[in-house]
Amino acid sequence: MTRKKRIVGFDLETGSAKRLYTWNEPEPYIVLCGWIEDGVTHVTNDPAELLEVLMAADIIYGHNIYAFDIPALAVHAGANYEALMAKAYDTMVLAQEEHPPAPKTMPVVLYNLQAVAERVGVEGKTDESKRLAGKKVAELAEAAAEGLTGREAQAAKRAVKAKYKDVYDAAHLIDWWDPELIEYLEGDLVSNQNVFRKLWKHLNRGVSRDELENFRNLNRMVYLGCRIHRPTAELRVAEENAKVAEARMQLSDMCPGIPEDAESPLATNPGKAAFEAGLIAVGVKPEHIPRTPNTGKVSTAKDALSSGDWVVTVEKEQKRFDARTKESYIQIRKARERRQGLRQLYPDNPKVQEMCELATTISGKSRKFAEILGKTGPDDMVHSKIGNLQVSRRVAFIEPSITNVGKRGVGLQQRSLIVPRKPGEVIMCSDLSQGDMRIMAALSQDPEYMKLFVGDRDAHAEVAVALLGTKELQELAAQVGALEALMQMNMMYLRDQAKAIGHGVNYGMGVDSTIANTGLPREIVERYFRMRAQTYRVLNRWTDEARKEAESGWILDNGFGRSMRCDPLQAHTQGPALYGQSGTREIIMRGVRQMPLSVKQMLLMVVHDEVVLSVPRERYEEIAMIVQESLRVTWRDVFFDCDVSNPGENWGECYDKDKGKVWQKHYKAYQENLAMAA
C-alpha cells in the first residue's frame, strides 16, 4: 500500500523583502517559519525545523514561494534550492492561470494572497505585516526617547522614524513570539491552504503545469543572479555625469535661466522656458519650436531636435455620427505624424545646431548604468525581480530593468556591464528568428506565408521580392533564391524596406503610420499593403477573425491553451499583436523547459525572444548545440529557428558586428566533426 502523500503549505516572516540578497544585519533574516498540513498549523523560529518538514513532504506549496520563500530559505537557511523547487507549487502562478492579467487600459488584476483569496471565494487575511512593522517602529521610537524629555525626546523619535521610513526595514526586529505575528502567519497559512485547494485543479492542466515550470525556470535566473562589472559601471556613470555637466554649462551660457539644481533641468518648466527663449533669440521662428502633442510644452526629445525626422503620436478629435441613434459624437483617434527635426529646419544656423546638440546630450542622459549599479550587491551580483505578468504573458526582469538595456549604437555599452558569473565562463545568447512572424504563419496556416519560413530562406528577402519586387526580380528569385537575386540585382534596399514595414504591420499598423514611421514613399507602402492583401489572403482572414474575437474582451486560446484578456476598444490592433507576442513567449519558454537542468542553471535571463547564458568557455560548442536544439521546434508545420551568438567576455560582445552571428557555421562544422569522429 502506498503511503499517503504529504502536502505541506508554508510561509515565512522575514526582514525586508527588498534585502533578500543583500542582508547585512546582525539579526537573522528569517524571523518566523510556519507550515500547514491537513489543516493543522505549526510555527517555529528555527528554519531547520521547517526544512526538515519540507524535505520530507511530497508536495510543498505557498504564495510567491518561487520568487521569495524558497530563495530565502536557500540564502539564509542553507536549503537545497533545486530539491525544494522541484516539488514546489506556487499559488501565485496558479492564480495567474485562473485569472489572467488585464491590459493597462483596464482595471488591474492583483495577485496578492488577499486578492486571490477573495476571487476564488475563500476567506482571506488582510495584510497585517505592514501594521506589525509599523507597531515595531513606534515601539523603537518610544524606547529611543526613554529618559529624554521635550525637544530631545522628539528628535530621538524622529530619528528612529526616519531610519525606518520604510517600515519593513524594521520587520526583522519583531519578536518571533509576538502573538500577533504568530496569529497573522497562521491566518495566512489557512488562507493559502484554502486557495491551494481551490486552484489545484490546475495541476491537471498541461498548460498550467508548464507555467509552473516556466516560473521555476525564470526565478532560478533571479536566484542565481547576473554578475556586474563594477569598474565599468562606475566609469560609465562618471563619464555620463562629466559629459552632461559640460553640456549644461555651455547651454546655460546660451540660454540664461536654466536651473542649476535640478537633476534634469530641461524637464523643468523654467528650463523649458529658458531653452525656448534661447532658440527664439538665435532666430528660430515660434512656429518651428517643437512641442509635445498633449500639453504643448517644448519638446526636448532627441528626434524633435534632430537633423532627421520626428514621429509624433497625436490624438485627433473626429466628429462622428451614429446612424442608429442619430446622434453625433466626438471620437478621439490616434494618428502618427512625421515632422522635421529642428536641426533639419535650420541647417545653416550653427547656434541652433549647437543648442540642439547640447540639449540632446542633457535630456538624453542615460541613467541605466546608475540604475543597475544602485541595485548591485557588494558581491557584484544583481538579482532583478520578475515583473508583473503582462497580458501577453510576457515577463520582464525589473529592479533593475534588464529587459530594456541598450542594444544598438551607444546603448550597446550598457550590455558590457553584464559579465559571466564565474571565472572561465563566457556569455552566450540565442535569439528566435522572426518569432512573431512565424507565430502568425503557424496560427493562420496561410500556405503562402508559411513558405517564407521553410529551410534557409530569408523571410524579409522573400517578402521584399514578393511584395516590392519587379517581375524581373521575381523571375530571377525563382531561379537563385530571393536573397541572392536581391544581391545580384543590387536591390538589397528592398529587403530593408520590407523589414521596416513588416514589423509594424504584424501589430496592425496602417498605411499612414507606416509612412510616418519608416519615411518610405507612399506608393511603395501602398504597393506593399496591396500585394500583402492579395498574396496572403488566408493570413488576412485569420487577422480579421482575431480582431473580431478580441472585441469580445477575451482571446480564449493563444494556440497553446492560454487565454488572454483584451480591451475591446483596442481589439483591432491588440488582438493580432497579443497572439504574436504570446506565441513567441510560449515558444521561447518551451525551449527553456527542454534544456537539461545543468544548462538551465547557466541561464542569466530571457528577453522576450532571446536567452542569455553564462557558460564554461571550454564547453561553448557543446552548450551552443544544446541551446539551439532546445529552442528549435516545429509547431503547426512551421519551423521555429534560432541562432546562437559567438562567445562574449560580456553581453555586449555577443553582438560584435565583426564577429557577427555566425554560430550556424561553427555548429555545422561541429556536427561534421562529430560525424567524422563517429
Which of 485-492's residues contact partners 24+ apart within 8 Å by CB, and which partners? 486/461, 491/464
Q: Which is nearer to DNA, 335 or 345 (by Cβ)?
A: 335
Give least dist CB 515 to DNA, A.
Answer: 10
Q: Which stretch binds DNA (CB under 7 A): 257-265, 440-448, 528-536, 670-678?
A: 257-265
Bridge-partner residues for 3, per DSSP? Answer: none
Q: Are 439 and 432 in contact (CB under 8 A)?
A: no
Sort strands 59-62 and 88-90 into parallel, antiparallel or unpaired: parallel
Lay out the site mask for DNA across 571-600 (x = CB under 7 A, - = otherwise).
-xxx--xx--x-------------------
* Distance, C-alpha 561 to centroid of its chain: 22
Report whether the peptide linkage leading into residue 423 is cis, meaning its omega lies within 30 degrees of zero. Answer: no
Query: Among residues 209, 288, 302, 593, which is the contact residue for DNA, using CB under 7 A?
Result: 302
Give least dist CB 586 to DNA, A.
Answer: 13
Give least dist CB 300 to DNA, A.
Answer: 5
Q: Are 397 and 403 in contact (CB under 8 A)?
A: yes
Residues between 156 and 185 that touch DNA (CB under 7 A): 165
Q: Which stretch binds DNA (CB under 7 A): 36-44, 267-275, 523-531, 617-625?
A: 267-275
264 binds DNA, rule: CB under 7 A: yes
Q: Name the strands in the sheet holding 381-382, side by side, starting at the edge strand that comes first in the sequence.
A: 381-382, 226-228, 418-419
Residues between 423 and 442 that touch DNA (CB under 7 A): 435
608 binds DNA, rule: CB under 7 A: yes
Give least dist CB 193 to DNA, A.
Answer: 30
Query: Among residues 16, 191, 252, 300, which is the contact residue for DNA, using CB under 7 A?
Result: 300
Sort strands 40-44 and 642-644 into parallel, antiparallel or unpaired: unpaired
Query: Among residues 268, 594, 601, 664, which is the contact residue for DNA, using CB under 7 A?
Result: 268
Give least dist CB 536 to DNA, A.
Answer: 17
Place of cell 496569529: 183
507 binds DNA, rule: CB under 7 A: yes
SS3 content of the chain, % helix, strand, coil (to 5): 55, 15, 30
Q: Rounded to whole angstroms, how far apart are CA atoms 235 and 237? A: 5
Give least dist CB 496 to DNA, A.
Answer: 16
511 binds DNA, rule: CB under 7 A: yes
**Roughly how many angstroms between the first and final C-alpha of the chain, as a whole number?**
48
Residues between 12 and 51 that touch DNA (CB under 7 A): none
Query: Among residues 88, 356, 607, 611, which is the contact residue for DNA, using CB under 7 A?
Result: 607
Q: Rounded to whole angstroms, how far apart are CA atoms 116 and 93? A: 11
Residues between 386 and 405 that touch DNA (CB under 7 A): 387-388, 390-392, 394, 396, 398-401, 403-405
Q: Which is nearer to DNA, 254 or 391 (by Cβ)?
A: 391
Between vectors from CA 442 to CA 438 and to CA 443, what angle results, nearest 5°?
Answer: 115
Cα–Cα distances (Å) from 675 to 236, 624, 626, 668, in that order, read 47, 17, 17, 10
- Cell numbers representing residue 352 in the block: 541652433
Lay out the site mask for DNA across 62-101 (x = CB under 7 A, - = otherwise).
---------------------------------------x
Give least dist CB 86 to DNA, A.
Answer: 28
Q: Which is nearer to DNA, 185 or 428 (by Cβ)?
A: 428
DSSP string, 435-465: HHHHHHHHHH--HHHHHTTSTT--HHHHHII
Give least dist CB 107 to DNA, A.
Answer: 12
Q: Which is nearer to DNA, 198 or 585 (by Cβ)?
A: 585
Q: Which is nearer to DNA, 200 or 507 (by Cβ)?
A: 507
Q: Which is nearer to DNA, 268 or 349 (by Cβ)?
A: 268
Query: Exposed (0-12), middle (13-18) or buried (19+): which is 631, by Cβ within 10 Å?
Result: buried
Give least dist CB 540 to DNA, A.
Answer: 13
Q: Which stretch binds DNA (CB under 7 A): 357-365, 445-453, 454-462, 640-648?
A: 357-365
Q: Which is nearer to DNA, 41 or 581 (by Cβ)?
A: 581
Give least dist CB 123 to DNA, A.
Answer: 27
Q: Rounded to whole angstroms, how far apart are CA atoms 492 and 484? A: 9
262 binds DNA, rule: CB under 7 A: yes
Query: Among residues 336, 537, 593, 666, which is the contact residue for DNA, using CB under 7 A?
Result: 336
Which amino acid is present at 660?
G
Query: Exposed (0-12), middle (13-18) or buried (19+): which is 315, by Cβ within 10 Å?
Result: exposed
Q: Rounded to whole angstroms, how far apart are CA atoms 451 and 539? A: 12
Give least dist CB 428 to DNA, A.
Answer: 15
Phi, psi of 656 (to 5 degrees): -55, 120
Q: Which is nearer to DNA, 46 or 240 (by Cβ)?
A: 240
| Three-state secondary structure call for residue 612 | strand
Lay out the site mask for DNA across 533-572 (x = CB under 7 A, - = otherwise).
--------------x-------------------x--x-x
Q: Which is nearer to DNA, 405 or 485 (by Cβ)?
A: 405
Residues between 101 and 120 that touch DNA (CB under 7 A): 101, 103-105
Q: Are 651 and 415 in contact (CB under 8 A)?
A: yes
Q: Which stretch binds DNA (CB under 7 A): 2-10, 43-51, 148-156, 289-297?
A: 289-297
DSSP 360: H
Total chain residues near DNA (CB under 7 A):
81
Query: Among residues 411, 559, 568, 616, which is the contact residue for DNA, using CB under 7 A?
Result: 411
Residues between 365 and 384 that touch DNA (CB under 7 A): 366-367, 371, 374
Helices and strands: H and E segment counts in the chain: 28, 20
Of 215, 189, 228, 194, residue with least CA distance to 71 = 215
Q: Rounded to whole angstroms, how far apart are CA atoms 32 and 28? A: 10
Give least dist CB 474 to DNA, A.
Answer: 28
530 binds DNA, rule: CB under 7 A: no
Q: Which is nearer to DNA, 325 or 331 (by Cβ)?
A: 331
